[in-house]
Structure 1
Amino acid sequence: MDTPANAHGTTRDIDRWFASYSDDHRNPVNQRIHVIAVPAILWSVIALLWCVPVPENGWFKPGIVAAFAMFGALSYYLRASRRLALGMFVVFAAMGWLTHWLYSTIGARALLGLAIAVFVVAWIAQFIGHKIEGRKPSFLTDLTYLLIGPAWVVAKGYRKLGLTW
């Protein structure tokens, strides 16, 4: 797959990452699975981190570990592309809100169980998709692809809307 060039005629790192990721995700069924399973995995990781106990001294609240992780990921996305980072910020904000609501509604224990279940089912779906694809998951070659996957889904959404990242 050709990688698009930016206004200066050079290819950005994120475009190379997406091209490589797309090369491992050519099958339309695998792509559809990923569009559902990657956000599900992302949410489940946020929810799992939300459930990490923190000292109740007033400085930290439930979800602070998830917030730090989302901030770290956003820093990565911001270096890759401001527009992509904006999309990921919206995704993180929505998932953070949902997780906060679930934590407040069903409690930490039920949230933890739900997050584990979603994580396991979504990863099973991912591996089924890769079985259909006939290619191994990208993250097995480089763990950076665990950050690229969610951004790739956002970039697909941008393309559907006629936007660039």
Structure 2
Amino acid sequence: MTKLEQLLSQYAAYHLDHKNILTHFVGIPLIVFAIVCLTARAGLMLSGIELTLALVILIASSVYYLSLDRIFGLVMLIIYAIAYPFAYKIAQLDTSLWLSLSVGIFVVGWIFQFVGHFYEKKKPAFMDDVIGLAIGPLFVLAEMVFMLGFRKDLEQRLLEHARVLRAEMDSKAISAPSH
């Protein structure tokens, strides 16, 4: 099993309900966009180019995604390249408007996430493993790719392993002593 398969399977174990996955199609992009908006204001000029914290985060996450899977990594890089200019524009707004928009988008994104986990009846993956915060956007992309009918072999392997992991989680929850 590749590292990509391992990480996506672990994340998918918390996301087997279709309604939860659909809420993540809205929630995760909103959260990521809000983080980019919030961090696009912090930066410094290097040789006439403004290097923002958002760019550093997006580049680092793209490199990480590329290391896991070239196709998914390239698609994420393209998505980030499209989203960044919009986030940067928001970051240039008046401070109160920038913060209101960014925090508002962030909160709405998390509302979608928690509604989805209500359907799933499982806590978000990052509560057990912080890497879930980085894998969430990649999971959404993978699910979209699967819905479009691509990489079905990968989807099947992920689902099989995710169901095993979910069964293990559920059996641990049942056998855990109550206080």
Query: CA contact under 8 A between 1:51 and 1:112: conserved in structure 2?
Result: no
Match of 1:131 among 115, 118, 121: 118
- Distance in 2 between residues matched to 1:56 and 1:93, nearest whole Å: 19
Residue 116 of structure 1 and its aligned partner are, at CA, apart by: 0.4
Residue 38 of structure 1 and its aligned partner are, at CA, apart by: 0.5
Residue 115 of structure 1 and its aligned partner are, at CA, apart by: 0.8
Query: CA contact under 8 A between 2:30 and 2:108: conserved in structure 1?
Result: no
Q: 1:57 to 1:70 in 2, by over 3 A?
A: closer
Instruction: Report the TM-score when normalising by structure 1.
Output: 0.82
The structure carrying a bigger strand percent of its residues is: 2
Query: CA contact under 8 A between 2:27 and 2:111: conserved in structure 1?
Result: no
Give the root-mean-square deviation of aligned CA atoms: 2.1
Equivalent pairs counted in the alignment come to 152
Kindly provide the amino acid, as one letter, of the partner of residue 91 in structure 1. Answer: I
Residue 90 of structure 1 corresponds to 78
Residue 127 of structure 1 and its aligned partner are, at CA, apart by: 1.4
Query: CA contact under 8 A between 2:44 and 2:52: conserved in structure 1?
Result: no
Instruction: Report the TM-score when normalising by structure 2.
Output: 0.76
Unaligned 5+ segments in structure 2 are 155-179
1:77 aligns with 2:68: no
Residue 31 of structure 1 and its aligned partner are, at CA, apart by: 1.0
Residue 5 of structure 1 corresponds to none
Residue 145 of structure 2 corresponds to 158
State the structure with more CA Rg. 2
Q: Residue by residue, what CA displacement relative to the aligned partner does 1:38-62 show, whole Å, maximum 9, x if unpaired? A: 011010011110122x45787563x
Unaligned 5+ segments in structure 1 are 1-10
Residue 165 of structure 2 corresponds to none
Q: Residue by residue, what CA displacement relative to the aligned partner does 1:134-154 show, whole Å, maximum 9, x if unpaired? A: 101000111111111100111
